[in-house]
Amino acid sequence: MTATVWVPCDAAAVSVGADDVAHALTAAGATVRRNGSRGMLWLEPLVEVETPTGRIGFANVTPEQVGALLSGELHDTGQDVGVVDEHPWLARQHRVSFARVGVIEPTDLGAYREHGGLAGLERALALAPTDVVREVTDSGLRGRGGAGFPAGVKWETVRTAEADVKFVCCNADEGDSGTFADRMLIEGDPFTLIEGMTIAAVAVGATEGFVYLRSEYPHAIRTLRRAVDIAYAHGVLGASVLGSGHRFDLEVRVGAGAYICGEETSMLDSLEGRRGEVRAKPPIPALQGLFGRPTLVNNVLTLAAVPTVLADGGEAYAALGTGRSRGTQVFQLGGNVARGGIVEADFGISLRELVDDFGGGTASGRPVKAVQVGGPLGAYLPPAQFDLPMDYEAFAAANAMVGHGGVVVFDESMDAGAMARFAMEFCAKESCGKCTPCRVGSTRGVEVIDRIRAGTHREANLVLLDDLCTTMTKGSLCAMGGLTPMPVRSALEHWPEDFGAPATASAVARDIPMSATSTDGGARP
């Protein structure tokens, strides 16, 4: 009998040879099915063989091992991980948004239905729009893109806005370092996003939608576009969603790779065909967004949670999590970590459980020095703070943020001063340039940190850096400039030794610059 094997088509698996393994298996006569990645990235390519007891996984399979895999010679070796669904790393998780990722073929709509897909949309179509929004509000769902804004409040604002046309836009411009959940969900289960956006459209009265997807994700673009075509062919999208009479058209737009387009108003500018640039608020996009019309903008993971909210009810979703952080979050372990990948868990799991239990410490074997949570603008946290629960308020109280759920691990070789400089340099390169605190402050920040690390008027420049960070935090137009000081301040607070030797009394500044924009040398606005 021909063996049926599953080989991930996810970009992470493909990058380590999954396509070659799939081709070798096909040539050997196996029936090959392509799934998304289970998220255990250190095991890729993870090939799963169907058996009467479940799908048995084999890690790091190479094309040369295909013969041994099919003949059973890899059983009970170090590559045999057993029944994948029972793997401790997966079994400990609570997968809601990622429940189907890695389990089904990404564009198999029939399999999507068999695994609970479209139940949320069917229920939403049977409810009044106000009741759909109420379910989202009752769920406690907050924006997963980083801000944590209550989704129900935003939905209600768009629903009650008067306009001839309304839009639903999904921001899939996943640009934070150490984040990849959006990509993996789109590549592994794109119908979940399509269903979530369609539910949103029904709720707020939108007839058109756009997914803004970064050009660096070619596999995701291809998979999502194919899924959209299939959704149209089967009446999930189009003139009458599932025969309900609700119209919803969805289009995938590809961005050019500007980090700032992860900010919602910059994304809207880009969708309109203009250079991505932050807009001043008010007006908010919920009232005047794309082409001046009311627009619901949510991130991929926010919309991916919606089908479950509608299928199971808002109260069931709200029963998960802790405090005001309800439901689950999809955490992404990256950097110098032994076991990187996707961990979906209820809010409230500790940072230590993620880094030590799931992550297994560093890949280098050296002690962990720090983790950065929430992308390149998130705080650096030392092991002494690893008992922090993952929830928005606890992290805010610690001068940190959960952000998009990215957790990047660093070992003891990390230079915190260099990382602080990188934060300012990153902001200087990626700033849209519209507001002065971000555009000029980041450039000055690089210069000031360089002087501190060189020991030039160290104490005076430390004062100047703090003043500069305050200006950027309070004066920037968006989170790009407003959050850049977070990694800088956390690095300086926890590892001051990485910013050069403390100044002696004689080296203390004799001439403190008048302001952050009048320092010697460097670029001018």
CATH for 81:
3.40.30.10
Assigned domain for 519 exists: no
Lowest mean pLDDT among 95-99, 255-259, 510-514: 510-514
User: Considering the chain, what is the average pLDDT of its residues?
Assistant: 94
Mark which of 319, 341, 364 sits at the end of a domain.
319
Provide Rg for the chain, Cα atoms: 24
Question: Which candidate, 128, 257, 115, places its Cα nearest to that of 202?
Answer: 128
C-alpha of 216 from chain center: 14
Q: Are 173 and 276 in contact (CB under 8 A)?
A: no
- In single-letter form, the type of residue at position 251 comes to E
Q: Residue 470 is encoded by which pair of tokens?
A: 């305050």
Q: What is the mean pLDDT of residues 483-487?
A: 96
Residue 524 has pLDDT above 70, yes or no: no
Chain segment 80-102, per-residue pLDDT in tens: 999 999 999 999 999 999 999 99
Looking at residue 507, its pLDDT comes to: 41
* Residue 501 binned pLDDT confidence (cut-offs 50, 70, 90): low
SS3 440: helix
Query: Do 352 and 426 have their domain in common?
Result: no
Question: Which candidate, 320, 337, 321, 344, places its Cα nearest to that of 39?
Answer: 344
CATH for 374:
3.10.20.600
Assigned domain for 46 exists: yes
Distances (CA, A) of 18 to 4, 8, 62, 98: 16, 7, 8, 21
Looking at residue 271, its pLDDT comes to: 97
* Close Cβ partners of 419 (under 8 Å, ≥ 6 residues apart): 372, 380, 410, 487, 491
Chain segment 46-92, per-residue pLDDT in tens: 999 999 999 999 999 999 999 999 999 999 999 999 999 999 999 99
Query: Do 125 and 273 have their domain in common?
Result: yes
Residue 523 has pLDDT above 70, yes or no: no
Chain segment 382-439, per-residue pLDDT in tens: 999 999 999 999 999 999 999 999 999 999 999 999 999 999 999 999 999 999 999 9
| pTM to 2 decimal places | 0.93
Assigned domain for 434 exists: yes
Query: Do 179 and 325 have their domain in common?
Result: no
Chain segment 6-31, per-residue pLDDT in tens: 999 999 999 999 999 999 999 999 99
Q: Residue 510 is encoded by which pair of tokens?
A: 């004799």
Chain segment 326-336, per-residue pLDDT in tens: 999 999 999 99
Query: Do 341 and 307 have their domain in common?
Result: no
Identify the DSSP state of 357.
I
Q: What is the mean pLDDT of residues 364-391?
A: 96
Domain enclosing residue 175, as ranges: 109-319
CATH for 123:
3.40.50.11540
Query: Do 207 and 283 have their domain in common?
Result: yes
Q: Are 138 and 318 in contact (CB under 8 A)?
A: yes
Looking at residue 177, its pLDDT comes to: 86
Lowest mean pLDDT among 11-15, 98-102, 105-109, 520-524: 520-524
Query: Do 402 and 266 have their domain in common?
Result: no
Assigned domain for 267 exists: yes
Lowest mean pLDDT among 65-74, 305-314, 372-381, 494-503: 494-503
Domain count, the chain: 4
CATH for 438:
1.20.1440.230
Identify the DSSP state of 173.
-
